[in-house]
Amino acid sequence: MLNVALFGFGRIGQMHARNIHNKKDLKLLYVFEKAVVLSRKAKRLYDCKIENNYKNIFRDKKVDIIFISSPTNTHLKYINEGIKFNKTIFCEKPLDLNINKIIKTYKKIKKNKSRVQMGFNRRYDPGHYAIKKDLDLGKIGMLEKIIITSRDPAPPSKLYLKSSGGIFRDMMIHDFDLCRFYLKNDEIIEINAAATSFDPMYKKINDHELATVTMKSKKGVICVITNSRHCSFGYDQRVELFGKKGMLISGNKKINETEIFNSTRTNSKQTFLNFFIERYKDAYLLQLYDLIMLHKKKVSPRSTYIDGFNALQIANAAHKSLKQKKVIKLK
């Protein structure tokens, strides 16, 4: 039995807590959450320890795994404590908004051979991973273009958006990582971003409602990513890989695959799943299994700390491209 300490019991933290609780070989030992209402909820649901001093959690030798789903500005603090006490670490994206701090922590990870997994759950989605395997098997020949569409059914709270780092670092960072996943060792070298908002709230908090980024890799592969903070027909998440010999698509998930035919309509299908936690339910479970393997067998995870660093670099370049209204080149 592996003991887990969870940092942050918000929307994503509560989902992780459920998955940890339902995994037979894991025990949710601690939850660290500053909001009293949420910490009480965690205690009621999982009978876990609630600790007010986070350093005491890291000192506890019974704790094997640290799960970080707290606000972005706390991520590196907890990662560094985890390194110090030789814990296996899982961290949600983004690592931080400061590249220099991320590099400094990475040096510690390398020196201590620390075990860190990044929360890029889309790499674990069965559909997204299946087209990755087909791509690697050469089923569509040489990759020429990647098209990713990501639209949330509704935006997060204004409070969350204010500290999220913006649409590129908070939302599209998943798609930047997914592009890198399919490109393998062919890194992104050019980024061009455009964004807009129709709701005045986004301008007040210096964020954007919709965005499109076009990128090019070293080998010339074009990547086009479209994001929207809202979508009236559900959680819209699609990936298309276009190659010399064909195309691979990983599409949306519906409640079920039934179709309705009657006197008033034909081929009427079920709506898309309406929340990312539902859409990526399987991916989150597979991601958790990968974390257990990282701890038990020291197997490198599908999503690493350096993947978090590289995705943030692209996100920062997209932000810079939008601000300066020009193509940004990465070295």
Which of the listed residues 64, 88, 114 is the one where a domain comes to its end?
Answer: 114
Residues 234 and 153 in one domain: yes
pLDDT beyond 70 at 267: no
Q: Which of the four pLDDT bands, split at 50, 70 and 90, describes residue 203?
A: very high
Q: Residue 229 carries which side chain, given as an amino acid letter?
A: R
Residues 7 and 97 in one domain: yes
Q: Could you tell me the end-to-end alpha-carbon distance of the chain, in angstroms, rounded to an integer?
A: 45
Residues 17 and 77 in one domain: yes
Domain holding 202: CATH number?
3.30.360.10
Give the Cβ contact number of residue 109 at 10 Å: 19
Residues 45 and 148 in one domain: no
Query: What is the Cα–Cα distance from 105 to 76, expressed in whole angstroms?
Result: 7
Radius of gyration, alpha carbons of the chain = 20
Q: How many domains does the chain have?
A: 2
Residues 45 and 63 in one domain: yes
Q: Which of the four pLDDT bands, split at 50, 70 and 90, describes residue 184?
A: very high
Residues 101 and 248 in one domain: no
Residues 99 and 126 in one domain: no
Q: Which of the four pLDDT bands, split at 50, 70 and 90, describes residue 252?
A: confident
Domain holding 109: CATH number?
3.40.50.720
User: What is the per-residue pLDDT for 253?
Assistant: 73
pLDDT beyond 70 at 272: no
Q: Which of the four pLDDT bands, split at 50, 70 and 90, describes residue 234?
A: confident
Q: Which of the four pLDDT bands, split at 50, 70 and 90, describes residue 99?
A: very high
139 burial level (CB within 10 Å; 0-12, 13-18, 19+): middle
pLDDT tens digits, residue range 22-67? 999 999 999 999 999 999 999 999 999 999 999 999 999 999 999 9
Q: Judging by DSSP bridges, how do beta strands 210-217 and 188-196 pair with one another?
A: antiparallel
Measuring CA to CA, which residue among 103, 102, 97, 227 is closest to residue 164? 97
pLDDT tens digits, residue range 142-165? 999 999 999 999 998 898 898 889
Q: Is the pTM of this model over 0.95?
A: no
pLDDT tens digits, residue range 281-329? 999 999 999 999 999 999 999 999 999 999 999 999 999 999 999 999 9
Query: What is the Cα–Cα distance from 234 to 215, expressed in whole angstroms?
Result: 27
Which of the listed residues 114, 133, 156 is the one where a domain comes to its end?
Answer: 114
pLDDT beyond 70 at 259: no
Residues 193 and 252 in one domain: yes
Q: Which residues does 44 contact at the CB level (< 8 Å), separation at least 6?
A: none
Q: Which of the four pLDDT bands, split at 50, 70 and 90, describes residue 275?
A: low
Q: Which of the four pLDDT bands, split at 50, 70 and 90, describes residue 105?
A: very high
Residues 82 and 224 in one domain: no
User: What is the per-residue pLDDT for 233?
Assistant: 85
Residues 84 and 129 in one domain: no
Domain limits at 104? 2-114
3 state SS of 299: coil
Taking the CA atoms of 215, 216, 217 and 223 in sequence, report the sign of the dihedral they define: positive
Q: Which of the four pLDDT bands, split at 50, 70 and 90, describes residue 107?
A: very high
3 state SS of 258: coil
Q: Which of the four pLDDT bands, split at 50, 70 and 90, describes residue 268?
A: low
Residues 172 and 309 in one domain: yes
Query: What is the Cα–Cα distance from 23 to 18, expressed in whole angstroms?
Result: 9
Do 120 and 303 touch, CB atoms closer than 8 A? yes
Which of the listed residues 78, 98, 114 is the one where a domain comes to its end?
Answer: 114
Percent over 70 (pLDDT), the chain:
93
Residues 132 and 102 in one domain: no
Task: Tell me the residue length of the chain.
Answer: 331
Long-range own/partner contacts, residues 239-242 (CB < 8 A, 24 or more apart)? 239/127, 239/128, 239/131, 239/146, 239/147, 239/148, 239/178, 240/145, 240/146, 240/147, 240/148, 241/131, 241/135, 241/140, 241/143, 241/145, 241/146, 241/182, 242/140, 242/143, 242/144, 242/145, 242/146, 242/147
Percent over 90 (pLDDT), the chain:
86
Torsion of Cα atoms, 173 then 174 then 177 then 179, to 10°: -110
User: What is the per-residue pLDDT for 186?
Assistant: 97
User: What is the per-residue pLDDT for 159?
Assistant: 87
